[in-house]
Amino acid sequence: MIRTNNISFSYTEYGKDEDLAPGDLELVLAAREIALNAYAPYSNFRVGAAIRLKSGIIIKGANVENAAFPSGICAERSALSNSVSNHPDDIPVEIAVAAMTDEGITAGFVSPCGSCRQVIAEEETRIGKPIRILLSGRNNTIVLDSISSLLPLQFNKTQLKSNLP
C-alpha cells in the first residue's frame, strides 16, 4: 500500500496588541516583562515565556545562556520546569512567548525551538490536554490550540510502549 497523507493546521493571527483579548494581552505582557530578566550576554536575544495555570497563577521564565552554549536553557523550558516543579497538579492552560533584542520587542512573533516543542509536547502528554500557545511580536500575535500544530508526528510515550518487545 502506498498513500500520501497531508497534515494541515490553522491558527488565529492578531494584529496590534489592542486586538488581543484582555486575558491574552495580560499573558503576552507577562512574557515581555520576564524577558527583561533573561541572561543573554551572548545572543542579546531576550526571550520570555508566561504560563497560565488552571488556577489562574502565571508562571514565568526567561532564557538563561551559558558560555558552554548547550548548557543554556530557553525561556519556554525555563518556565515549564518552574511550573512542573512548583505546581505539579495545577496544569498549564496556555503559554505566551515573546522576545526582544537591543532594539526592543521583535517586530514579528518568535517560535519555540525544536527542543522546546518537544518539551511542551511532553507536558501536553503529562496533563492529557492541549496547551494553547500564543506567539507574540510587536506587529502580530498568533494563537495555536496545541503544540501538535508545531510538532506534528511527534515522538511520545505511546511510541515507546508500542515499540517494547
Active-site residues, by number, are: 76
Helices (H) and strands (E) in the chain, counts: 4, 7
- Asked if 44 and 35 count as a contact pair (C-beta separation under 8 A), the reply is no
Closest CA to 49 of 135, 145, 115, 139: 135
Q: Please give the Cα distance from 50 to 60 (Å, whole number).
A: 4
Closest CA to 77 of 27, 134, 115: 115
In the complex, minimum distance from the CB of residue 151 to Zn ion, in angstroms, rounded to a whole number:
12
In the complex, minimum distance from the CB of residue 40 to Zn ion, in angstroms, rounded to a whole number:
13
Measured at CB, which residue is nearest to Zn ion?
A: 74
In the complex, minimum distance from the CB of residue 147 to Zn ion, in angstroms, rounded to a whole number:
12
| Nearest to Zn ion of 15, 152 (CB atom) | 152
CA dihedral 110, 113, 117, 123 (to 10 degrees): -90
Q: Which residues bind Zn ion (CB under 5 A)?
A: 74, 113, 116
| Nearest to Zn ion of 1, 69 (CB atom) | 69
| Nearest to Zn ion of 28, 80 (CB atom) | 80
